[in-house]
Amino acid sequence: MSQNENKAKFNKVIITGGTSVFGYNNYLKEMAVDIGELNILLKRGQVTLEDAIKKCKDRQFPVDEGYYKRISAEFSVINELKNAGHLSEQFDVTILHTDTKDGCLAAEINRKIIEQQFNTKVKLVKVENLDVSNSRKLRENLGDFMEKLSRELVQSYKEYTFFAPIGGYKLMTYLGYVVGSFYGYETGYLYEENQVLIKIPPMPIKIDIEWILKKRDLLIKLLKDEIVYFSDLEEKDKIFINENSFFFERVSDENDQLVSLNAYGEFILKDYLFTRKLVSRDLIYMFDDAKYRNHIQSNLLNLISKVKSFYRDGNKGKNIIGEIMHNKEWGFDKPYLYKGDSNGELVFRCLWDYDFNNDEIKIFEIWTNHADYERECAAISKKGYNKNQDMVEID
């Protein structure tokens, strides 16, 4: 196998899960009737979720390959990837599922069968059920889902990760596509009738960092959990919140509304706004040039999220290391090299270092031209790099 072919293999699969495992014509109905009926008993309150899950964990599921297309949508995604030769020999699976009883039970059944048939490990991530009857609660639920999905995607390396928001509510599928697009992920979709996997390219979603910086004082106030009444805001701030409602929660309080960031808004913005950012004085011109500015700032937002995840959350997976510490591919130890995203015209590579105790990141070099990046990194791998530079703090 060539190196390029090997790089095309996925070593991680992230799926939003549903309850298709309980489908009328699926495997459980024929070969594990007792487990299929557990969901009915669960809904009637005749068995506890804990007991139902224990029974699933203790049970063996003999699965003939003839049933592979009739187990669940989650199983089918992995099976199709494997049949197409897109999975590494060792891969992990993450399933995000709702905290409803049938959502939890379906996820546990999928985990047991997928681990059994593919000799892999499945991580389950529980998200709050979407309560569409309560608009305030729905915003909280959506924030929880988007925050947890964002965390999984940030901690992965998209070149080696297959993302398929196929299960759960249709709103989860749509928002999964939106969040995945923000991080540059292609989205996998299972055409269930013929069990065909389709990959959809990301839509061009980028957060305009400039509007974050313009509203820095307001956002930091919200991040510090200070009470903010909607009526007290200036008109331009009200417009800002209305236009970016997916970041905020508004709770009625007598004749007014309290405004706060939701879990997704906090996840996206907190690390970037609270981390002290220092860049080499030689790079300042790039932040003043409209051609480079937003491309660089968007990549720095992603870099800071990934770096903080690496140091704070203990995420030491090989995917994220290959992305934020790409210097190892060039044979030098420090500074670290981040392999960021291209916008179709400009690439993004930068040399960085991070002080965890002071929450301070330093950016020594930025490349937006691939040829310049390769030439200068080749030189660094031979001669080393001098980090003693005049640094300037930026917002």
CATH of the domain at 81: 3.40.50.10770
Which tokens hold the place of 196? Answer: 């065909």
pLDDT at 92: 94
Assess whether 94 and 137 both reside in one domain: yes
pLDDT tens across 364-377, in order?
999 999 999 999 99
- Pair type for strands 87-98 and 121-127: parallel
Assess whether 280 and 258 both reside in one domain: no
| Cα 75 to Cα 61: distance, rounded to the nearest angstrom | 14
Helix (H) or strand (E) holding 374: helix 370-383
pLDDT at 263: 72
Assess whether 300 and 286 both reside in one domain: yes
Assess whether 255 and 150 both reside in one domain: no
* Domain coverage including residue 319: 275-394
Assess whether 196 and 235 both reside in one domain: no
| Cα 30 to Cα 43: distance, rounded to the nearest angstrom | 21
pLDDT at 39: 84
Mean residue pLDDT of the chain comes to 85
**Sites in the chain below the pLDDT cut of 70:** 1-8, 132, 134-136, 139, 192-195, 204-208, 313-319
Give me the number of domains the chain comprises: 3
**Single pTM value for the model:** 0.73
pLDDT at 377: 95
What lies within 8 Å, CB to CB, of 115 at 6+ separation is: 121, 122
pLDDT at 4: 39
